[in-house]
């Protein structure tokens, strides 16, 4: 992926919580890129900062947390979003529907707002620099970038019908009469596979199943035809069959609209099924990012290897036992020096990994890992130092 293909680029993002007990460095130097029109899955054990990274993008981090450093660049550089808009116009005239990735089939011109947003002198907007309560970020949130959360029931108000909530959400961002918004709501509910949308519009959320509520939330998220949908473990609260249906729905919608998707999950099976790229997070940093096949077949970071060793994989053989990752993710208040993964790492180098923050090493155009094992200069220097101190010991 070239720089110009990135819809969202996060650089050195730090989001900290300022507690009486100390500073929780929930996100502590995240770098990642989301390409236009692709699905990027973010994985990692509980507490490693996946949700807070997503919330930081949208300015939804609650006090006492806040973004303290870094950039969240929105809108592709070098006019790529504008190119996508132009391609979109071409796609509308072409007989074939738009393809997965890059451009989008949008009967309503959903990229228009990104184009306006990207028409800054730099071509991109730094979301980290915007006032979290300001108009600008509110305009982008739920308009260009939408989010679907874990708990659909908690995201919908039990006091209002689906129709109330949908029409209100639609009218916040689009100039429509109540009647038009109602009709649009019905269209959206059928699009997310709700069989009797008129009936569902009149229901209260507590009258619907968890899966139906999540479909309603997805319909609301799609109402503005976002360029990016962030889905934060959208199926965790649902039973297995419903989980599979919701994931299929998201994949279909993504292919249909060409929106990019940032999908946060613990489930590596889902990652294998839907991801174009994978971001692996550990204790507030991205330890590896790459194309899904590379990550699964040639993982570089010891943490990625350990995660993959802990799940059943086709071809591994039934007799080979699964290995759990030893130890636990440390609390961010108790962050180890050097590489945060070193106390649990089978490949850690004493005197190096426990003291030197690991560099982010670019391993290919779309591939990077944050680990000293891929930085020959550091390894050589460490080996020289070791040899030097061994020599002194003998003298």
Interface with ligand ATP (CB under 6 A): 17, 19, 24, 26, 44, 46-52, 62, 65, 332
* Cβ nearer to ligand ATP, comparing 275 with 356: 275
* Cβ nearer to ligand ATP, comparing 161 with 236: 236
* Cβ nearer to ligand ATP, comparing 333 with 337: 333
Sequence-ordered alpha helix ranges (H) in 174-287: 178-191, 197-201, 210-222, 240-257, 268-274
d(CA 245, CA 239): 10
Is 224 strand, coil or helix?
coil
Query: Which of 301, 255, 253, 294 lies closest to 272, judged by CA?
Result: 294
The alpha carbon of residue 150 and the mean position of all alpha carbons in its chain are separated, in whole angstroms, by 13
Nearest distance, CB of residue 325 and ligand ATP, angstroms: 15
* Cβ nearer to ligand ATP, comparing 62 with 179: 62
d(CA 335, CA 322): 27
Q: Tell me which H or E stretch contains 389.
A: helix 376-394
* Cβ nearer to ligand ATP, comparing 44 with 299: 44
* Cβ nearer to ligand ATP, comparing 47 with 102: 47
Nearest distance, CB of residue 70 and ligand ATP, angstroms: 15
When CB distances to ligand ATP are compared, the closest residue is 26
d(CA 41, CA 34): 10
Nearest distance, CB of residue 332 and ligand ATP, angstroms: 5
d(CA 183, CA 202): 13
Nearest distance, CB of residue 91 and ligand ATP, angstroms: 35
Nearest distance, CB of residue 31 and ligand ATP, angstroms: 16
State the pairing for strand pair 39-43/360-364.
unpaired
* Cβ nearer to ligand ATP, comparing 45 with 83: 45
The DSSP secondary structure of 98-150, one letter per residue, reads PPSSSS---TT-TTHHHHHHH-STTSSEEGGGS-TTSHHHHHHBTTTEEEE-S
Nearest distance, CB of residue 19 and ligand ATP, angstroms: 6
Nearest distance, CB of residue 132 and ligand ATP, angstroms: 15
């Amino acid at each position: 992926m070239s720089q110009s293909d990135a819809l969202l680029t996060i650089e050195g993002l730090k989001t900290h919580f300022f507690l009486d007990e100390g500073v929780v460095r929930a996100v502590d130097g995240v770098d990642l890129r989301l390409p236009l029109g692709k699905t990027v899955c973010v994985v990692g054990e509980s507490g490693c900062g996946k949700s807070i990274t997503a919330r930081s993008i949208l300015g939804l981090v609650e006090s006492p947390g806040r973004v303290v450093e870094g950039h969240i660049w929105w809108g592709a550089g070098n006019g790529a979003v504008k190119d996508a808009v132009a391609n979109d116009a071409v796609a509308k005239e072409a007989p074939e529907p738009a393809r997965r990735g890059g451009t989008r089939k949008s009967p309503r011109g959903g990229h228009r707002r990104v184009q306006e947003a990207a028409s800054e002198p730099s071509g991109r907007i730094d979301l980290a620099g915007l006032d979290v309560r300001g108009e600008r970020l509110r305009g982008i949130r739920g308009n260009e970038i939408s989010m679907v959360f874990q708990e659909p029931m908690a995201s919908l108000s039990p006091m209002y019908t689906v129709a109330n909530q949908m029409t209100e959400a639609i009218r916040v961002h689009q100039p429509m009469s109540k009647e038009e918004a109602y009709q649009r709501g019905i269209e959206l509910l059928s699009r997310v596979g709700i069989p009797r949308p008129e009936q569902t519009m009149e229901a209260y959320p507590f009258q619907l199943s968890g899966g139906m509520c999540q479909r309603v939330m997805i319909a609301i998220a799609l109402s503005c035809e976002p360029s990016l949908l962030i889905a934060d473990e959208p199926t965790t609260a649902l039973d297995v069959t419903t989980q599979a249906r919701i994931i299929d729905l998201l994949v279909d919608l993504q292919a249909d609209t060409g929106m990019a998707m940032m999908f946060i999950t613990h489930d590596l099976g889902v990652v294998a099924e839907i991801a174009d790229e994978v971001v692996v997070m550990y204790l507030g940093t991205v330890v590896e990012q790459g194309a899904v096949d590379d990550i699964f077949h040639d993982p570089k970071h010891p943490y990625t290897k350990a995660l993959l060793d802990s799940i059943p994989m086709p071809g591994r053989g039934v007799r080979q036992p699964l290995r759990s990752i030893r130890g636990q993710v440390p609390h961010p208040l108790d962050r180890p020096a050097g590489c945060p993964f070193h106390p649990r790492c089978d490949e850690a180098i004493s005197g190096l990994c426990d003291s030197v923050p690991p560099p982010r090493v670019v391993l290919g155009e779309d591939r990077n890992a944050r680990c000293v094992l891929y930085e020959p200069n550091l390894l050589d220097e460490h080996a020289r130092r070791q040899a030097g101190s061994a020599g002194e010991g003998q003298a």
